[in-house]
């Protein structure tokens, strides 16, 4: 292998790594849009909470059709005066820890998840972004915080979820059913 060939391979590898790194940067930055908005109001360094739960779930959504799911990568800490949220590494790029005082939080019933009850958390200082969490997490938060969070037993006055969500679920279900039939019927004819 000549020096020119080695330089060419190194150059191509550098270009490939740059494209990969740049793409990863764009994806992480885009996916942190709602979290960065919450950071404008609630960013705070992570401090040792009274009780912590790792690998929790939440969905952040706001205006538009996009939402960001933090399934299994959310850490929730309960403090005397508020709720701490953090994203586990390596997903934590552009996701600084949050501390939200209980007085800023209001919760509503929500039908986001298909297989469980959920609640939507609305934040007084950041009304454009909402977090949806499973009811089991909200119950734990209520018990651990000794009821300091305001959770209303009625449904959210906001739109339940973007209408495009239902269309996407129907299309995915039809596609999955079509693939299943193709493979089941395709095997029978061979």
Question: How far is the CA of 136 from the CAs of 25, 61, 116, 169, in angstroms?
Answer: 34, 20, 9, 24
Q: How many CB atoms lie within 10 A of CB 129?
A: 20
For 137-179, write each residue's pLDDT tens digit: 999 999 998 888 888 877 767 665 555 666 777 888 889 888 8
CB 4 within 8 A of CB 62: no
Mean of per-residue pLDDT scores for the chain: 87
Predicted confidence at residue 160, as pLDDT, reads: 55
Q: How far apart are CA 36 and CA 21, in angstroms?
A: 21
CB atoms closer than 10 angstroms to residue 140: 17
Return all residues near 52 (Cβ < 8 A) that are at least 6 apart: 75, 76, 77, 78
46 vs 1, higher pLDDT: 46
Does 34 score more than 70 pLDDT?
A: yes
Summarize pLDDT for 94-145 with one digit per residue, the tens.
999 999 999 999 998 887 777 778 899 999 999 999 999 999 999 999 999 8
pTM here? 0.74
Contact of 108 with 120, CB cutoff 8 Å? yes
As beta bridge partners, residue 108 has: 120
33-164, what's its fold? Answer: PH-domain like (2.30.29)
What does the DSSP 8-state code read for residue 117?
-
Does 86 score more than 90 pLDDT? Answer: yes
């Amino acid at each position: 292998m000549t020096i020119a060939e080695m330089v060419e391979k190194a150059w191509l590898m550098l270009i490939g790594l740059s494209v990969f790194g740049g793409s990863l940067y764009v994806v992480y930055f885009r996916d942190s849009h709602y979290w960065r908005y919450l950071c404008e109001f609630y960013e705070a360094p992570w401090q040792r909470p009274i009780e912590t739960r790792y690998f929790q779930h939440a969905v952040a959504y706001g205006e538009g059709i996009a939402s960001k799911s933090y399934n299994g990568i959310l850490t929730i800490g309960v403090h005397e005066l508020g709720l701490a949220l953090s994203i586990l590494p390596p997903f934590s790029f552009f996701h600084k820890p949050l501390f939200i005082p209980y007085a800023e939080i209001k919760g509503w019933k929500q039908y986001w998840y298909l297989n469980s009850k959920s609640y939507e958390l609305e934040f007084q200082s950041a009304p454009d972004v909402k977090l949806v969490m499973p009811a089991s997490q909200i119950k734990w938060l209520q018990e651990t915080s000794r009821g300091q969070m305001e959770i209303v037993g009625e449904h959210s006055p906001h739109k339940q979820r973007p209408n495009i969500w239902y269309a996407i679920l129907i299309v995915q279900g039809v596609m999955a059913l079509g693939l299943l039939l193709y493979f089941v019927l395709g095997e029978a004819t061979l």
